[in-house]
Amino acid sequence: MLRTHTCGELTAKNSGKEVSLCGWVNTRRDHGGLIFIDLRDRYGLTQIVFHPEQKKQLFGLAETVRPEWVLKVTGKVSPRSKETVNPKMATGEIEVEAADMEVLSKAKTPPFEIASDKPVNEELRLQYRYLDFRRAQMQRNISLRSKVFQIIRKYFVEQGCLEIDTPCLIKGTPEGAREYVVPSRMYPGNFFVLPQSPQQLKQLCMVGGLDRYFQIARCFRDEDLRGDRQPEFLQLDFEMSFPTQEDVQEIIQGSLMTIFKECSSKKLKGGKVGRFSWQEVMDRYGSDKPDLRYELPITDISELSVGCGFKVFEDALAAKGTVRALRVPGGAALSRSEIDTWTAIAKELKAKGLAYILFKDEGPQSPLLKFFKPGFLGKITAATGAGEGDALFFGADKFRVVCASLGRIRSEAAKKFDLIDASVHSMFWVTNFPMFEEADDGSLTFSHHPFTCPDLSEWEKRETDPLSVHSICYDLVLDGYELGSGSIRIHDPVLQSQVFDMLGITRADAEKRFGHMLHAFEYGAPPHGGFAYGIDRVVMILLGEPNIREVTPFPKDQKAKDLMLGAPSPIPPEQLKELRLQFLDKRT
């Protein structure tokens, strides 16, 4: 080894010892004839001191050194004087008196300061990600990410799981997000896809009798990006045979509790993992992944609004919709422009608008009041608990539209009025999801995926009231983020065919898309279930980072581009020819 120690491990106990250190120049300082260099590696910093009365050649070399040069320094560990001890550094009690130095590599001036805490343009950081890694924040983030991987592997092995890798070139079976397509050179006109998840493969592991599977799986989804989403990501994937829903949940939450115990100082709000039905969280918070580090409930005022005099409310009820209200403490202080911004957000979520009442000192103010019949304002005030200084925001439309819009306004209000208790984590299960949803064209689609088992006690209602059928599906929510989803799977070929029938998937289409699964189920499939959660998302939340790019080693930017490698990029014409591909005109 070129070094005897790292730059983060020397202490006063090493005083008098000859050592060799290797690392990058963090800073160089000239002080009254002395030169100090802080040498950095991922373990920490060590101060190196150069004396002019020592080797002139060595001192002269130290004068030429610049930030980010890579050095090997040999010298003796010396204790610092009391007045120069730096308690903020693990190595702050000592310094190394240089006896020899070798420049291993010189460096150009970096495009941003590595040693500085000043904000750096994100595009620049992504373009020079290898330099960004040297910054203390990224070193912390990547180190914690690695630690979480180790905890996960250890935990699931202790649960009796086999770690089984699955392929990244698979058959396309569209069932959710858009897939990344890979052309086959050997079979022109045929394609692989990159897996959205190993869902079908892990189920086939259960058919194979492997009983308990886990994998840190790389997944790919060609979808629009946001702060907590990347086109490729890593998830903990887990499947087990002969479980109940509670068995799967216990193992999954146990893994996360182990991660929190070793990686976070925050406690769980209420001291435990909560549990709600999908209907409960949608009714009360307008979201199936609410942040419960603050309360802000939504109140159903549909019954109170019958005959209220306000046509928007009455029309929504006549169309079998709902009317709901959100009380925002302190909301009376909102400006007109802030309310307009929230209204625009609600409209983005398909709401027609965002009605409101501001409870000012001089009394309630709202364009709605002139339409209300006598007594209606008092009823909704009593139902919501609104008082002086508050604001009420209303949603009147289809259930899902009202939930989406008021749920988002709830989140905006919590940020605006600083209602989030950042000292705790809030984690809970959401269960009893609807089996089916209504697509924009009125057809049925699946809520989770087509292999999710329905609640068999409700299955007979599928022909007359399919939207009332629930599934044995469960999500885990942490601090307002959906960590992942799971379910008990269908293992009966007859039941699977019935679900395909409900989704309008013909027998021929089912055979074409999922024939491998259906055939496997004919050879004795055990009841099985599982779960998957996004590891990068967990790390992002633990570190309090604003987006997932901060904890992903080599992320894509907000437009799904790799700024460092310059991808995606064109491929040579001869390679296109070999794959028998050609481009259509870009305008078509």
- Whether the CB-CB separation of 447 and 474 falls below 8 Å is answered with no
462-487 pLDDT tens trace: 989 989 999 999 999 999 999 999 99
For residues 293 and 352, give the distance between their C-alpha atoms in angstroms, rounded to a whole number. Answer: 29
- Residue 61, token pair as written in the block: 């070399």
146-170 pLDDT tens trace: 999 999 999 999 999 999 999 999 9
Q: What is the reported pLDDT for 35?
A: 95
- Please state the rounded mean pLDDT for residues 506-518: 87
Parts of the chain belonging to CATH 3.30.1360.30: 294-420
Which CATH code is given to the segment(s) 294-420? Answer: 3.30.1360.30
Parts of the chain belonging to CATH 2.40.50.140: 12-105
Parts of the chain belonging to CATH 3.30.930.10: 138-275+427-574
Quick one: 12-105 is in which CATH superfamily? Nucleic acid-binding proteins (2.40.50.140)
Question: Which residue do the tokens 């809030």 mark?
Answer: 426
109-134 pLDDT tens trace: 999 999 988 899 999 999 999 999 99
Of the candidates 184, 179, 227, 229, which has an alpha carbon nearest to the alpha carbon of residue 199?
179
- Residue 443, token pair as written in the block: 């057809």
Which CATH code is given to the segment(s) 138-275+427-574? Answer: 3.30.930.10
Q: Is 239 helix (H, G, I), strand (E, B) or coil?
A: strand
Q: What is the reported pLDDT for 173?
A: 76
518-575 pLDDT tens trace: 899 999 999 999 999 999 999 999 999 999 999 999 999 999 999 999 999 999 999 9
- Please state the rounded mean pLDDT for residues 363-382: 95
Please report which helix (H) or strand (E) contains residue 576, including its range.
Answer: helix 573-579
